[in-house]
Amino acid sequence: MNYNFTEIEKKWQDYWEENQTFRTPDLKDIDKSKPKYYVLDMFPYPSGDGLHVGHPEGYTATDIVARYKRMKGFNVMHPIGWDSFGLPAEQYARKTGIHPEISTENSISRFRKQLKSLGFSFDWKREVATSHEDFYKWTQWIFVKIFNSYYDDEAGRARPIEELPVPPGLVEKERKDYVNSRRLAYLADVPVNWCPELGTVLANEEVPEQVEKGYTVVRKNMRQWNLRITKYAERLLNGLERLDWPSNVKELQKNWIGKSTGASVIFEIDGAAGRSGSVEIFTTRPDTIYGASYLILAPEHKLVKEITSEEKADEVRKYIEDASRKSDLERAELAKDKTGVFTGSYAVNPVNGKKIPVLVADYVLVSYGTGAIMGVPGHDERDNEFARKYSLGIIPVVAPEGLDDEGLREFSRKTVSGEECFTGEGVSVNSGMIDGMRTPEAIEAICNWLEANGKGRRTVNFKLRDWLFSRQRYWGEPFPIVHLEDGTIKSLSNDELPLVLPETAVFTSGASGEPPLANAGEWVNISDQETGLKAIRETNTMPQWAGSCWYFLRFLDPHNTNEFCSKEAERFWMPVDLYIGGMEHAVLHLIYARFWYKVLYDLGYVSYDEPFSKLFNQGMILGEDGVKMSKSRGNVINPDDVIKEFGTDSMRLFEMFMGPLEATKPWSTKGIEGLNRFLKRIWRLVIDEETGALSSKIADDCWDESIIRLINKTIKKVTDDIEDGDMKFNTSISYMMIFINELYKTERFSKEVIEKFILILSPFAPHIAEELWSRLGNKPSIQNVPWPEYDPELVKEETVTIVFQVNGKVRSKLDMNAGTSEKEIEDAALDDEKVKKHILGKQIVRIVTVKDKMVNVVVK
RNA sequence: GCCCGAGUGGCGGAACUGGUAGACGCGCAGGACUUAAAAUCCUGUUGGCUGUAAAGUCAGUAUCGGUUCGAUUCCGAUCUCGGGCACCA
């Protein structure tokens, strides 16, 4: 009776389903004396193509951990669901006329079936989909909470908007405007990335991906929803420190948040034709202020018009117009050739009274800092390039430390001529009050002076921008917002949620950027219950990230109709103990989800301030040819085919055996054959293929000590590999193979030994494990059997191979009892024939001995 | 350009805190079983040189250098590949 994986896998999948083996009980029914473990996969977007082999990689890893933890006696939460809103379904609808809801449900069914065929131990009773009404009701509910909150800068947290102190003496309209200007979700006319082909705006971070696909993205001013994530910049940055995340992801988020510390400085304008005012600039190097030879305003800077002289007005206006037509991307691409125009006005350097020209240049971004900079061409690469192009003066004000007079002269000459641009820290020169100070000291001194004289202050800036939160799409969460005819906006009340998507059949947006929902007249035009005013609904929808910002909370209490998740369930299960997904979500999803969680924390709906304690990124699986799988290359491996040919257990095992989880590695059909062979070897060890009965090699009275030692070592290795969190299951599988190879060499082995082996195999290859476990006469499910312990005494080596070296080269080896004294192994080394041969006639200088390891005889 | 990460047999990859480099698998070679093949089992497999063999010997973890009795592991420089950011002042 051969190893019939198809039959076995079907049988046990049915068994698990019928017996609800992986059901995590509701909170009230849980044995709370046992520790909890929340192991989460990044839920998939159910695309029409079905699963690819990359999906099972991460899912297998989490499944191994989940099954292991259950056997270790943990309460395990291991859910799955669907990130089911998204553009592809909508594009498909435009092409075929099939409603996104229908195609999405079809895709979900397909994904569900495929995931079930992989034997993952998900609790399917907790399945959720972001596009289902009972899910997005709560996405909308959270949005309303965000909308109705403001950030209390002093307390450093969000609060309900009712608690916002409003300045007295405001009329109703002013009061409303004031409140609206503080909300964590707000409407603003912002320059957005408009993609005409997709008919929607894109978040900054989404642009590169779409451009790569060949879409055009242009800049356009549109009234859009934004979330005030910038208020959380500092907390999002600091929170990273405590997380057990890969350092590169932390680094990416850190760069994305982009904190920089410096000063803002006020320059008075000494303008042409009596124009005046002042410009505030931001710099991280206030110590270089004596080297400022010009000021630059971003084209969109408010002051540009005011300070531009009449004779320069035409030129400046034209420059601004040109700049406004460029997208951010174009600006960046054209960056190599910096351009700018003189405004005709001058600014006065507060530290030395020097008059310097004020220019407009689009290499300065309006959205960062104050939208204005001081140009220090001696010590900033960009300013240097610009100054050389427009022949603006270069003044050396920071010299590298330790230069002598001659060196300093040379350095100055090179700086002035533009040959050198020193951007590092050093010693201030030509810098009045800070001459001779080292950079950190000089920065302090200048900041103190600026603050004392009211010319500036210490400032912190972040690269992080507010999150552009609306999209002109159909297939997303509608905003629970109405615009009243009096021009005010209000959020829906809880009993009006969910605000369900209209069954509109038109999925195209207007060229002007009118979203598809604007076509649904009846849905859009309403009258407000409370005031009786005419109103229109918000017709934008939320971006795909919205649902994934909080789905991990819904899993904990998926059928709760009163709350998005009960506080008790949240407190018990959160934070997520292990979160596995692809590197592509390192910044966006993971920063947005942290942000929402922190808002919910501030408002008292969750009890921790970070949602994901440990994060792990799985690597990509490449095609057999070593390049990324793609339809056009024809190197795509379909998991369904693999399962048909080799079975799920082989596939799971192979995906883990290919290498460390985080590595990018190529698929190999030969490789999976090897793992299939391994499972067949295990099968034949237990089952007599002729008769179908248990193998006659299994005996109760056979206690081969070396095998017992080996199974203990194998248990230890597998246990340690799962516990240490490095996700290197390739070595666990190697050890299991070694064990099986050894077992093949023995005549007989005890039932207990093979049972222990099957237990540790079970998280990796659960179907064959269940089958063999029950054939050995045990009651299913193997998932309910405790994980085997190893005997620490038995994993210790009794004999160790001592290496004898002469001058660091291995010359001989000897097996000795573990724990033999250094003296003894040293004597043994000196007594060794081969060692003797190599030290013959030479003088022993030194002998290095490491217990249980080696002896190195150093001779001359 | 800047910031991360990685370079180990024909291939995927092992090697604990510096202590036998190449575990395990794939591939390949040889053998057993078979009329034959597949399947299966067993043996070998970093390279060079010497040797019929046993064995010996040198080189070897991208390259060059350093620290050390001893370096895949630590330090410095260089090269290559992968990923991210890209005028953030």
Are the beta carbons of A398 and A378 closer than 8 angstroms?
yes
A178-182 mean pLDDT: 93
Are the beta carbons of A806 and A838 closer than 8 angstroms?
yes
Express each pLDDT in A716-768 by its tens digit.
Answer: 999 999 999 999 999 999 999 999 999 998 888 999 999 999 999 999 999 99
pLDDT of residue A87: 85
pLDDT of residue A17: 96
Express each pLDDT in A806-821 by its tens digit.
Answer: 888 888 888 888 888 8
Contact between the CB of A617 and strand B at under 7 Å = no
Residue nearest to nucleotide B41 (CA to C1'): A744
Give kind and range of the element (H or E) at residue A644.
Answer: helix A639-646
Place of tokens 């054939």: A775
Chain B positions with an atom below 7 A of a protein C-beta are 3-5, 11-15, 19-21, 23-27, 39-42, 56-58, 69-71, 82-89
- Rounded to 5°, angle at Cα A175 from A173 and A179: 120
Are the beta carbons of A385 and A376 closer than 8 angstroms?
no
> Which nt is closest to the CA of A363, judged by C1'?
B87
pLDDT of residue A49: 87
A87-97 mean pLDDT: 87
Cβ contacts of A819 within 8 Å, gap of 6 or more: A851, A852
A184-193 mean pLDDT: 86
Q: For residue A323, what pLDDT band results from cuts at 50, 70 and 90?
A: confident
- Rounded to 5°, angle at Cα A573 from A32 and A111: 120
Region of poorest pLDDT, from A313-322, A653-662, A833-842: A833-842
Are the beta carbons of A614 and A725 closer than 8 angstroms?
yes
A116-138 mean pLDDT: 97
The dihedrals phi and psi of A478, each to the nearest 5 degrees, come to: -70, 145
Closest CA to A51 of A119, A124, A128, A115: A115
List, in sequence order, every residue forming a beta bridge with A36; answer none if it has no partner.
A75
> Which nt is closest to the CA of A2, judged by C1'?
B39
* Percentage of chain A modeled with pLDDT above 90: 59
Q: How far is the CA of A807 from the C1' of B20 (A)?
A: 15
> Which nt is closest to the CA of A370, judged by C1'?
B89
pLDDT of residue A189: 84
Are the beta carbons of A579 and A551 closer than 8 angstroms?
no
Contact between the CB of A732 and strand B at under 7 Å = no
A404-411 mean pLDDT: 89
Q: How far is the CA of A68 from the C1' of B2 (A)?
A: 43
How long, in residues, is chain A?
A: 860
List, in sequence order, every residue forming a beta bridge with A484; answer none if it has no partner.
A535
Express each pLDDT in A469-500 by its tens digit.
Answer: 988 889 999 999 999 998 889 999 999 989 99
Average pLDDT score over chain A: 90
Contact between the CB of A364 and strand B at under 7 Å = yes
Q: How far is the CA of A418 from the C1' of B1 (A)?
A: 18
Q: How far is the CA of A740 from the C1' of B42 (A)?
A: 15
Give kind and range of the element (H or E) at residue A259.
Answer: strand A259-270
> Which nt is closest to the CA of A252, judged by C1'?
B84
Contact between the CB of A860 and strand B at under 7 Å = no
pLDDT over 90 at A332, yes or no: no
Please give the distance of CA A26 from its chain centroid, rounded to a whole number: 30
pLDDT over 90 at A843, yes or no: no
Contact between the CB of A208 and strand B at under 7 Å = yes
pLDDT of residue A512: 62
Are the beta carbons of A735 and A718 closer than 8 angstroms?
yes
pLDDT over 80 at A214, yes or no: no
A61-67 mean pLDDT: 97
Distance, in Å, from the CA atom of A823 to the CA atom of A829, rounded to the nearest integer, reads 10
Nucleic chain B contacts, protein chain A, residues 273-292, CB cut-off 7 A: 282-285
Are the beta carbons of A656 and A61 closer than 8 angstroms?
yes
Closest CA to A765 of A660, A680, A651: A651
pLDDT of residue A480: 96
Cβ contacts of A338 within 8 Å, gap of 6 or more: A361, A363, A382, A385, A386, A389
Residue type (1 letter), A811: R
The dihedrals phi and psi of A344, each to the nearest 5 degrees, come to: 90, -10
pLDDT over 60 at A91, yes or no: yes
List, in sequence order, every residue forming a beta bridge with A261; answer none if it has no partner.
A460
Contact between the CB of A796 and strand B at under 7 Å = no
- Rounded to 5°, angle at Cα A465 from A463 and A468: 155
The distance between the two most distant Cα atoms of chain A, rounded to a whole number of Å, is: 109
Give per-residue burial for A716-735: e unless 16+ CB within 10 Å, then b: bbbbebbeeeebbbbebbeb
- Distance spanning both ends of chain A, measured CA to CA: 66
Express each pLDDT in A293-310 by its tens digit.
Answer: 999 999 889 888 888 888
pLDDT over 90 at A610, yes or no: yes
Are the beta carbons of A294 and A360 closer than 8 angstroms?
no
Closest CA to A760 of A711, A688, A709: A711
Distance, in Å, from the CA atom of A732 to the CA atom of A719, rounded to the nearest integer, reads 9
Express each pLDDT in A20-44 by its tens digit.
Answer: 999 999 999 999 999 999 999 999 9
pLDDT of residue A328: 58
Nucleic chain B contacts, protein chain A, residues 431-470, CB cut-off 7 A: 461, 463
Express each pLDDT in A769-793 by its tens digit.
Answer: 999 999 999 999 999 999 999 999 8
Contact between the CB of A723 and strand B at under 7 Å = no
- Domains recognised in chain A with CATH numbers: 259-393+437-462 (3.90.740.10), 644-794 (1.10.730.10), 797-859 (3.10.20.590)
pLDDT over 70 at A209, yes or no: no
Give kind and range of the element (H or E) at residue A355.
Answer: strand A355-361
Give kind and range of the element (H or E) at residue A821.
Answer: none
pLDDT of residue A10: 96
> Which nt is closest to the CA of A664, judged by C1'?
B82
Express each pLDDT in A676-688 by its tens digit.
Answer: 999 999 999 999 8
Distance, in Å, from the CA atom of A283 to the CA atom of A397, rounded to the nearest integer, reads 15
Contact between the CB of A249 and strand B at under 7 Å = no
Distance, in Å, from the CA atom of A642 to the CA atom of A621, rounded to the nearest integer, reads 14
pLDDT over 80 at A696, yes or no: yes
Give kind and range of the element (H or E) at residue A447.
Answer: helix A439-452
The DSSP annotation for A838-851 comes to: HHTTS-EEEEEEET
pLDDT over 60 at A335, yes or no: no
The dihedrals phi and psi of A817, each to the nearest 5 degrees, come to: -65, 140
List, in sequence order, every residue forming a beta bridge with A200; answer none if it has no partner.
A195
Express each pLDDT in A385-395 by its tens digit.
Answer: 899 888 898 99
pLDDT of residue A275: 65
List, in sequence order, every residue forming a beta bridge with A361; answer none if it has no partner.
A340
